[in-house]
Amino acid sequence: MSQKYIQSPEEFDKDIKLNLSNILNDESTAELSKKQKLFIMVSVAYGLKNKNLVKDILADHNSVLNEQDINGAKIVATIMAMNNVYYRASHFSEDDELQKESPRLRMNMMIKHGLEKLDFEIACLAVSAVEGCQKCVSSHIAALKTIGANVKQIQTTLRIAAVINAMNTAILIKD
């Protein structure tokens, strides 16, 4: 994915290619490990429902993420797909009564994902940012700060989400 995409000849997505290259460069995003960056990338790609993008990311970096990580990325994408819709709609409604209601949605995998808490939360933040759920973004940033994440880790997570989202758009409009 990364090298093949970066080397493609399209001019309209030149900035996206440069940003992707910077994200993959450990010096540019040293606040997160390579595994964390790739976990975010795969989680966002699953959230975007782009199996080819997932395959491309994993093809270039298959030795970094294990099956538990890949399953975790699927958990993040599916749980956030549900939560982002519910909480975004509830928040947009500006109805205090509705917002006080329990969502009554099963979310056991938010606890039983088997991943490092930081890794899970950064991926949830990234997917929620792409989905545009203000309530979820705020909640995940608060959770990250509670477990000791710093603003650079949070900002890098958002950069990665933005670039993978843009890369997905560039891939789709090339076809």
Q: What are the domain boundaries of the chain? A: 2-100+107-174
Gyration radius of the chain's alpha carbons: 16
Catalytic residue selected from 136, 149, 163, 164: 136
Active-site annotation holds for 133: yes
Q: What is the pTM of this model?
A: 0.89
Active-site annotation holds for 136: yes
The CATH number for 2-100+107-174, chosen from 1.20.1290.10, 3.10.20.30, 2.30.38.10, 3.50.50.60, is: 1.20.1290.10
Which pLDDT tens digits describe the chain residue by residue (175 residues)?
445 555 555 777 888 888 888 888 867 788 999 999 999 999 999 999 999 899 988 987 778 999 999 999 999 999 999 999 999 999 888 889 988 888 887 877 666 678 999 999 999 999 999 999 999 999 999 999 999 999 999 999 999 999 999 999 988 887 6
Catalytic residue selected from 32, 133, 137, 170: 133
Which pair of tokens denotes residue 150?
């710093």
Q: Which of 51, 40, 4 is nearest to 158 (CA)?
A: 40
Query: In angstroms, what CA-CA distances link 52 with 42, 93, 156?
Result: 11, 35, 24
